[in-house]
Every structure is written in structure tokens, then in C-alpha cells.
Structure 1
Amino acid sequence: ETHELENPAYQANQPDRCYHCKEELFSVLDQLAQERGFAAVAYGVNADDTLDFRPGHRAAMEHRVLAPLLDAGLSKPEIRLLSKMAGLPTWDRPASACLASRLPYGTEVTHERLSLVERGEAALRALGFHQFRVRLHDQLARVEIAQEELPRALGPEMAAAIARELKSAGFTYVTLDLEGYRQGSLNDSLRRS
């Protein structure tokens, strides 16, 4: 069990938030690996992850965590293909970053905010969407849906259903981001700085 939500540096949700989370995670995993006789800890960072801001990777390096997919130079599509060929049932599962990545930097990470985002994303999943994020901006849900699913989301009946379900989940306002789902879109503010 990890306790990153008890760490003020994590709660503050600055651009290095992922470092503090991974530091906690790898500290716990190091101890667990030692107790169970494992020689190393590995994680699933891949070549595509190097294209975005990844402060958690620094914690992995500090803990000497292995990165076999990155070391092999494998991209996300290549990993999906290899997983499919191996018959893994998760080969096409959508990427799923931690819920704190839905909060803009500087917005305190709390159980309540994470729960609100989780309820919002559960509502979108129940409506049949596959690749999406609910980005929290105060009480506003900025919904990012994959480009190929946007036409369905923009239909009047579905748009009304999305708004109704997200308001029922606890949001006051609901918007649909016309740029669609973009991995790491909250890092756009870092790129502009």
C-alpha cells in the first residue's frame, strides 16, 4: 500500500507530482522485492513515453528500477501488437494514467477531486466511450474523447446524455474539448512556459 496522498509535495500537484508518487511507489516496491527475494523491480515505461514530460522516470532511475520495454526501444503500438500475438486479453486496453493527471498543475490533489473525476470517467465508460479523459477545472469537466469517437459524442442526444451523467456525477459544468483526447494535454501549459 502506498500513501502518496499523505505527502504534501504530491498534494501540491506541481509539475513534479509524478516524481513524488513514483518515489513512494518504488520505495514500497523495493522493500517488497527484498522481502520476497526478487532481484529487481521493473516498470512499463516505453519509447513513446520519452516524448512527453515524465518526472516519475527520475524516481525510477534513482531506485534502479528496470525499464525493459524502453530498453528494447518498443513503442506503444509495438507493445500492443506483441501482446495481441501472445494472446493477452489486455492488448487493446486503452491507456489509463493516474487520476491526478486530470487535475491542472497547482490544483491540490484530494480524495474528493479524484473521486469526482473517477465518477465522471465511469459515466463516460457506461455510455460506451473507450478512449477519453475527464479533466477537472474547478467544477467544470473538460471532456476529451478520441477523435474517432467525437462524432458520436457531438450528436445532440449523446451530448445531452454526457452532460446529464457528468452533472449527476457531481460536476456543475460540462464541456467537450473539440481537439479530442490528447495524452498529456495538461502538459501543454509547461510547453508554453
Structure 2
Amino acid sequence: MKLYGSLTSPYVRKARILIQEKKVPCEFVVADAWAADSPIPALNPLGKVPVLALDNGKVLFDSPVIVEYLDALKTPALLPTSGEARWEMLRWQALADGMLDAVVIRLLESRRPAAQQSADNIRRQEEKIARSIEYAAQHLSIGAWLMSDRFTLADLVMAVALEYTDFRYPHDWRGRHARLGQWLAGIGTRPAFVETRPPG
């Protein structure tokens, strides 16, 4: 298998972390979806990363699909296949992905020429991020993990979302949510997180 993506995409990073956590044999191919010679549009009609090329010639795209496919390859599962725990896990994933989307939209808006930027749009995205962090802090368990008694997909996706916020929208959210910051510090020491941190 081959995973195509950039070094800075948090959506790609989710898959890279899972691959390392579960020791799934998979080659990582650095590919810029925006480059003129990019292989991405030919693999994914949406022109987005990550893309997972399977050994049978088929491809999967969109990070939730790729993450679930990779998780199913080896036990123990990080995402339950059924029951209440699955829906709770998917809620964490939806929260993390929505938070990532808001950080990305804010970043792209802030990179537009000053005269073309929408302050309202930037504020809306910052409000979404703040509410997401507040929600995560309110639903943080008393243990080391968000769910269960071990590392799961909930921990993976939420930690990626918070670290990407630090990377692209650095601000003092820890001042209001110290315990969430402490939880992230613990998750962030895992080798898969250290080795996949974006450059810069």
C-alpha cells in the first residue's frame, strides 16, 4: 500500500499516526495536491489528500474512510465496529475534523490579501475552534484516555486537531483548559506523534 499526502496536512497525519501505532506496512509518498505534476487528481477526483492506494489497484480517499480501513487491518481496533462506543468515538472524530476544517479555513482566509480578507469569517472560525476546545475540555475523562482504558481513535484525532491548532493558530487555549493541555502533553510524547509532527 501507499499513502499519498503532505507533511503538514493534519488529515494525512491521522493516517500516518495510525499506521505507525499499529505497525501497518505502508509506504508514505509525499505529494503536493496543488502542484502541476501532482499525482493526486488522477487518484482522487476531489484532488485532496490523503489518498490510500491499495495493493489491488483500488484507491481510498478522505481521512475517516482511510483511517477506518487501516484500523480494520490489525487488532486491537482503535475504532469499535458497533455499539454505543462506536458512536461516541465517531462523535470525537466529527468534532476533531470540524475543528481542523475551521483552522484550515481561518488559515486560508488570513493568507488572502489584507483588503480581501473577511474579518467576520475569521472570527466565525475562531469561535468554532474555541467551542470545540471547550467541548473537549468538558468531556475529558479523569484518566489518561478520552475513552476506554487505552489509546483509541478518539485520542488520536483530538490530539491531532489540538496540535494542528497550535501549529496554524497558536493561542493560549491552555490558560482556560489546563487539564486538556496536560492530557495533550501526555499523548504528544507517543513516538507516532513525535515522528509525524509537521516541519517548522
Task: Determine if the TM-score, normalized by the shorter chain, exceeds 0.5.
Answer: no
| Greater RCO, CA 8 A, separation 6+ | 2
TM-score scaled by length of structure 2: 0.32
TM-score scaled by length of structure 1: 0.32
